[in-house]
Structure 1
Amino acid sequence: MPYALYCDDAKISKAYPTEASVWKHAQESGLVVDVDSGDESSRPRRILDNGYEIRPCKAEPGESPEHNETEAHAARDYQLSRTAA
């Protein structure tokens, strides 16, 4: 089942094939924050910014979650190549 990013019950991202894909998209969009885990470990816990959540969803008619992920990877690779030049 595909997953998407939601804000206040509104779907705000394309559908992606895995929850991990949506986490990556959210992090690249600046929607993931690190918070103190509250225990003795030194690792912060990653959470979505207030109001955002990742949920299973149905793909829109004609939408391909796998294509959306491939498209997102291509856009990231292009941005990285532009900043490296």
Structure 2
Amino acid sequence: MPYALFCNEAQLSKAYPTEADVWKLANHSGLVVDVVSEEEKPHPRPILDNNYEIKSCPADSQENPERNRADAERDHQLEFQLDT
């Protein structure tokens, strides 16, 4: 089952094959923050900012999660090359 980024039950991103793919997208978009809890002071853990969440979503017949991942990786690589 594919995964996507949601906010208040609304799907904000395209569907991706794995939850890890959506975490990468969210991190690249600046939506991931590090939080330190009292129990985990030495090791902050990443969480999504505001009301964002990553959830599984039904496969859309018009969308290809594998292609979405490949497109996102290509776009990120192109952006990285333009920054250097």
Settle same-fold status: TM greater than 0.5: yes
Please tell me the residue identity of whatever aligns with 1:72. Answer: A
| Displacement of 1:25 | 0.4
Name the % identity. 52
Unmatched segments (≥5 aa) in structure 2? none
Is the deviation greater in 64-73 or in 30-39? 30-39
For residues 19-74 of structure 1, give each alpha carbon's deviation from its aligned partner in whole angstroms, at most 9, with x where no partner exists.
00000000111111101132255221110112110000012222100000000000
RMSD: 1.1
**Given the alignment of the two structures, is residue 22 of structure 1 paired with residue 22 of structure 2, yes or no?**
yes
SS across alignment from 2:17? coil
Matches of 1:55 and 1:23, distance apart in 2: 11
TM normalised by structure 1 equals 0.92
Which residue number in structure 2 is paired with residue 81 of structure 1?
81
Unmatched segments (≥5 aa) in structure 1? none
| Displacement of 1:15 | 0.1
Aligned length: 84
